């Protein structure tokens, strides 16, 4: 999770991912980036899952009074020490302050400051966060957002390639659709990820998909429109015969011909020179 966070944030400090760099600074192992403090309290890292307290029920009082909009306005954090593998973090949250009613560009509302106190498995404080949100009555007379410019200014959206999905996109560039299979329990999985959702093993290998599939479900997108794509845009949820599902476009599949459970075959579409994506079509002449 630290590696994924660093990739998403563009954080390149080796202290967070490299054992030798951590050892050089006196740590037994890579440490957590301090700004990940809240991450370790999220449901997937706890035994109890998400609880009612997480949703700050006091904020519902603002909704009931018509202040249904919410926007975070600023956040301050303090860290007492680096968090390391094995720490178990929990928090308490209290509403610290509510401002008088203010008139803002979004509408009238109250600034609400929430204070989070984070503690470790020994009950010792490890950090705190002050989060200020504006709960406001949405101003319905706002002008429409500026419309997107012409298609010529936009190229087709590109995937975000990370350490954990690079193998998948390298396969795509060779016109091979690769599925991850857990080396420990054999579970197939997609989209690509570092660990097995069934047994949590980090060991895996890639299996090349046969390309035989069927349509599990689909939607036809009309809005919002990205200038480089064609609308109406069918988006398919395809079930591969290997047992995993992926989202893909169709090729040669007008909306009227799309039926749930129809057989599909893998094909490839060259979006721009050298940029290929998997897509699915009806099988040729097969039942
Ligand atoms: Zn497994």
- pLDDT tens-digit readout, 196-214: 999 999 999 999 999 999 9
Q: What is the mean pLDDT of residues 110-137?
A: 93
**Mean pLDDT for the chain overall:** 88
Model confidence at 35, in pLDDT bands (50, 70, 90)?
very high
Q: What is the mean pLDDT of residues 140-158?
A: 54
Distance 197 CA to ligand 1 centre (A): 7
* Dihedral of the alpha carbons of 271, 272, 276, 280, in degrees to the nearest 10: 20
State pLDDT tens for residues 162-188.
889 999 999 999 999 999 999 999 999
Q: Which residues of 154-175 are buried (b: 16+ CB within 10 A; e: fewer)?
A: eeeeeeeeeebbeebeebbeee
Q: What are phi and psi of 258, to 5 degrees?
A: -90, 125
Please report the pLDDT score of residue 44 as a whole number: 67
SS (H, E, C) 193-233: CCCCCCCCCCCEEEEECCCEEEEEEEEEECCCCCCCCCCCE
Distance 160 CA to ligand 1 centre (A): 25
- CATH superfamily label, 50-140: Hotdog Thioesterase (3.10.129.10)
Distance 210 CA to ligand 1 centre (A): 21
Would the pLDDT of 145 be above 60? no
Q: What is the mean pLDDT of residues 82-105?
A: 90
Distance 262 CA to ligand 1 centre (A): 30
The larger pLDDT score, comparing residue 246 to residue 272, is at: 246
All structural domains of the chain with their residue ranges:
50-140, 166-281
């Amino acid at each position: 999770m630290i590696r994924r966070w660093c990739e998403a944030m563009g954080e390149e400090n080796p202290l967070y991912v490299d054992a030798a760099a951590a050892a050089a600074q006196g740590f037994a192992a890579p440490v957590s980036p301090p700004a990940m403090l809240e991450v370790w309290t999220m449901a997937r890292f706890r035994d109890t899952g998400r609880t009612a307290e997480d949703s700050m029920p006091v904020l519902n009082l603002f909704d009931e009074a018509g202040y249904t909009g919410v926007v975070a306005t600023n956040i301050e954090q303090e860290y007492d020490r680096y968090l390391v593998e094995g720490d178990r973090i929990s928090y308490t949250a209290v509403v610290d302050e509510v401002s008088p009613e203010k008139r803002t560009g979004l509408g009238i509302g109250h600034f609400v400051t929430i204070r989070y106190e984070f503690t470790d498995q020994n009950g010792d404080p490890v950090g705190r966060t002050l989060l200020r949100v504006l709960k406001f009555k949405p101003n319905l007379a706002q002008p429409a957002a500026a419309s997107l410019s012409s298609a010529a200014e936009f190229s087709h959206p590109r995937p975000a390639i990370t350490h954990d999905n690079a193998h998948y996109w390298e396969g795509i560039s060779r016109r091979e659709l690769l599925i991850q299979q857990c080396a420990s329990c054999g579970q197939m999985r997609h989209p690509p990820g570092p660990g097995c959702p069934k047994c949590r093993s980090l060991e895996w290998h890639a299996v090349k998909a046969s390309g035989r599939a069927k349509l599990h479900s689909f939607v036809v997108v009309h809005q919002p429109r990205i200038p480089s794509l064609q609308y109406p845009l069918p988006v398919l949820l395809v079930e591969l015969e290997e047992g995993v599902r992926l989202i893909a476009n169709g090729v040669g599949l007008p909306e009227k011909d799309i039926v749930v459970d129809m057989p599909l075959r893998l094909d490839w579409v060259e979006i721009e020179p050298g940029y290929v994506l998997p897509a699915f079509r009806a099988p040729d002449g097969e039942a």
